[in-house]
A and B are shown apart, each in its own frame.
Chain A
Amino acid sequence: MNVDEMDLISQLKDAAPLRPEAYERARTTLRAAMADPGREPAPELVAVPGTAPGRREGLSRTRTGRRGMRTLGKVGIGAGISAVAAGVAVALVATSTSQPAAPGGSQSPAAKGSAVNSQLVTLAAAIKASSGNLHGNASLVIQTDVGAPSPGNVTYNLFTDNGAYYGANSKKGITAAVDHHQNLAGSWLDARQVVAAARYAATGDLTAARQRMLNATSAAKQFERLLRLGPAARKKLWEKEMAKDRAILKAKHAWPLPVPTDKALRNDINYEIWYNSINALTEGAGNPQVREGVLRVLSTIPEVTVANSATGGQPTLALTAAPALMGGGLPAQVVTVNARTGMPISLVNGTPGQKYYSKTTYRVSRVTLASVRSGRF
């Protein structure tokens, strides 16, 4: 059969796949919008090709913080403190407990010497005891979406030890990406900072490790700042910053928003630590020190529960981040790891035992860049 012009155009359809967490963020943005009873339905005009450009819309090219992305889409760091924390209010307006205000780091269970999840600490110690020399100079993480958003979708992620990242949808594609030096590191999803925090956590002080993991998201500092303030000062700062970002928040249909409670801010801080830790685990899993550090950090989050499970006949641990941690009204997130090595096996967005929204499985191996370039892996 002859090749025609449509076949040629079809050859250009490949694009870098969206990461699973991007789908999760988008769904979270939608859930926040759906939960806002004040939203007025707005008719969506059908796009008409070639229409004249109108005024510039508020889609800044500035990268946004993940927390902001989680709750308000494009409104994030660039929009200031209120936009970041507005997400907390949208998601956690119903929570209200009164606890002494203090930074998230110093309030960690580790710092107070209580409630650290011993099962995770035990596994972390076992990883340390069994880890030997690290082979190769890169970790290959093959992700497969087995549920929504795109079942059967496979992503080859190659993280080199010196910080480069290559991505493709096939073995041939990852080989070509390395061969053509298509290093995609440096984007806002750069894993280097969270992986470094995890490595520190393997041997360092847990309170400091939590803080490093938290600091990997710059927007998180705002939550700590708000948490330090007493009720009156927090309200004053909140309203001032809200007023500053009124236009953007209105555009995002996120106005008015109440002052976040202590509990909401603590949950938010712990969510950032969870989110960054899971990123470190899935992207740096080839290194046992990263797995050990991640488990130690996760052991300090009270809303993370651990249950024994089995996957493919192997003993596993199911680490569940409670819906409260995820922002209220959202499904839980369950990360399953090998019970002996801590290697990530799957990530599920959904309440255990119920229908899930997405599921991704992971296969992690250590490789050399040269072996990937030559296709021998």
Chain B
Amino acid sequence: MTSDAELIGRSLAGDGEAFMEVICRHEGAVGAYLARRAGREAAEDLLGDVWVAAFESRRTYDRSFAGARPWLYGVALNRLRRYWRSLPSEDLVPDVTSLASGWDPWPAVDERVDTRAVLRAPLTRLRPEEREVLTLVAWEDLTVADAARVLGMPAGTARRLLHQARTALRNAPEVAALLTDFNSVKESL
């Protein structure tokens, strides 16, 4: 299959359909990325802006990377930041677990224990860059190196941030209790 990098190269040479193919490959993932962070309605509004921004900035794409998804996440994150800045301060939500407004994922996961509520406070206490790396790896299934590409930082920095985030979460009393609860249940089964 033709790589994203090759398609972007073709689009720079005037082949518009090549860029559309890149978009078609990744629109589901980028749409879900936006929805997890801004909720469905805002994600539906933002997606077109993300594509236009990506198209306009495709010259900056480093074609030594075959896959464009981390780059597209980076463009999407830029648009998200602008979106969040545009919101009235009263509409800003303090933590990532509340960002997907209008949608409570928890009932589909487990109805007995409110993991979401338990994780809210420890996630809020993380530094923004720690949270970004953590969620890119946990939610978008990126490697740490790809998460670093999204955020425009060295892979070593992203690795350190992920380690810090995981340690902070693991050491949070409420998370520790939840993990103990989960793992003891599993052992007793």
A25 surroundings in chain B (CB, below 8 A): 44, 47-48
Closest Cβ neighbor of A187 among chain B residues: B41
B135 surroundings in chain A (CB, below 8 A): 9
With A11-B115, A28-B48 as known contacts, state yes or no: A46 contacts B152, CB within 8 Å.
yes
Closest Cβ neighbor of A40 among chain B residues: B56
Within 8 A of A (CB), among B96-129: 97, 100, 102-105, 107-111, 115-116, 119, 123, 127-129
Bound complex: CA of A154 vs CA of B16, how far in Å? 30
Distance between B133 CB and nearest chain A CB, rounded to angstroms: 8
Distance between B44 CB and nearest chain A CB, rounded to angstroms: 4
Q: Verify if B32 is at the interface (C-beta below 8 Å from A).
A: yes
Give the number of chain A interface residues (Cβ < 8 Å): 75
Q: Verify if B160 is at the interface (C-beta below 8 Å from A).
A: no
B119 surroundings in chain A (CB, below 8 A): 8-9, 12
With A148-B25, A149-B28 as known contacts, state yes or no: A30 contacts B35, CB within 8 Å.
no
Bound complex: CA of A353 vs CA of B36, how far in Å? 36
A113 surroundings in chain B (CB, below 8 A): none
A18-43 to B contact mask, C-beta < 8 Å, 1/0: 11001101111111011000011111
Which of A47, A74, A168, A173 has the most B CB atoms < 10 Å from its CB? A47
A250 surroundings in chain B (CB, below 8 A): none
The answer to whether B85 touches A2 (Cβ under 8 A) is no
With A15-B35, A148-B28 as known contacts, state yes or no: A47 contacts B81, CB within 8 Å.
yes
A52-67 to B contact mask, C-beta < 8 Å, 1/0: 0111111111001000
Bound complex: CA of A25 vs CA of B127, how far in Å? 35
Closest Cβ neighbor of B60 among chain A residues: A43
Bound complex: CA of A64 vs CA of B183, how far in Å? 47
A169 surroundings in chain B (CB, below 8 A): 108
The answer to whether B44 touches A73 (Cβ under 8 A) is no
Distance between B159 CB and nearest chain A CB, rounded to angstroms: 14
Distance between A340 CB and nearest chain B CB, rounded to angstroms: 33
Q: Verify if B5 is at the interface (C-beta below 8 Å from A).
A: no
Distance between B79 CB and nearest chain A CB, rounded to angstroms: 8
Bound complex: CA of A133 vs CA of B56, how far in Å? 54
Closest Cβ neighbor of A50 among chain B residues: B128
A15 surroundings in chain B (CB, below 8 A): 32, 35-36, 39-40, 43, 100, 103, 105
Closest Cβ neighbor of B187 among chain A residues: A2
Q: Verify if B52 is at the interface (C-beta below 8 Å from A).
A: yes
Bound complex: CA of A119 vs CA of B167, how far in Å? 66
B183 surroundings in chain A (CB, below 8 A): 2-3
The answer to whether B179 touches A17 (Cβ under 8 A) is no
Closest Cβ neighbor of A54 among chain B residues: B85
B31 surroundings in chain A (CB, below 8 A): 17-18, 22-23, 26, 149-150
The answer to whether A30 touches B20 (Cβ under 8 A) is yes
The answer to whether A61 touches B91 (Cβ under 8 A) is yes
Closest Cβ neighbor of B54 among chain A residues: A44
Closest Cβ neighbor of B111 among chain A residues: A176
Distance between A248 CB and nearest chain B CB, rounded to angstroms: 13
B170 surroundings in chain A (CB, below 8 A): 4-5
Q: Verify if A313 is at the interface (C-beta below 8 Å from B).
A: no
Q: Verify if B83 is at the interface (C-beta below 8 Å from A).
A: yes
The answer to whether A39 touches B83 (Cβ under 8 A) is no
Bound complex: CA of A149 vs CA of B32, how far in Å? 11
The answer to whether A29 touches B48 (Cβ under 8 A) is yes
Which of A6, A12, A46, A148 has the most B CB atoms < 10 Å from its CB? A12
B57 surroundings in chain A (CB, below 8 A): 41-44
A48 surroundings in chain B (CB, below 8 A): 151-152
**Interchain residue pairs with CB less than 8 A apart (17):** A3-B182, A8-B115, A9-B138, A15-B40, A16-B102, A17-B31, A28-B48, A30-B19, A30-B48, A34-B16, A42-B56, A47-B74, A48-B151, A59-B83, A170-B108, A357-B24, A358-B24
User: Which residues of A are interface residues toward B (Cβ below 8 A)?
Assistant: 2-6, 8-19, 22-23, 25-31, 33-34, 39-51, 53-61, 64, 69, 73-74, 145, 148-150, 153, 168-170, 172-173, 176-177, 179-180, 182, 184, 187-188, 253, 357-358
The 6 A-B pairs with the shortest beta carbon distances in the complex, nearest first, are A150-B28, A44-B57, A29-B48, A46-B152, A176-B107, A14-B105
User: Which residues of B are interface residues toward A (Cβ below 8 A)?
Assistant: 16, 19-20, 23-25, 27-29, 31-32, 34-36, 39-41, 43-60, 74-75, 77-78, 81-83, 85-87, 91, 97, 100, 102-105, 107-111, 115-116, 119, 123, 127-129, 132, 134-135, 137-139, 150-152, 166, 169-170, 175, 178-179, 182-183, 186
Can you name 20 extra interface pairs (CB under 8 A) apart from A34-B55, A170-B108?
Answer: A4-B170, A6-B137, A12-B105, A12-B139, A16-B39, A17-B32, A19-B44, A29-B49, A40-B56, A43-B59, A44-B60, A44-B74, A47-B78, A48-B152, A60-B86, A61-B86, A61-B87, A150-B29, A169-B108, A188-B41
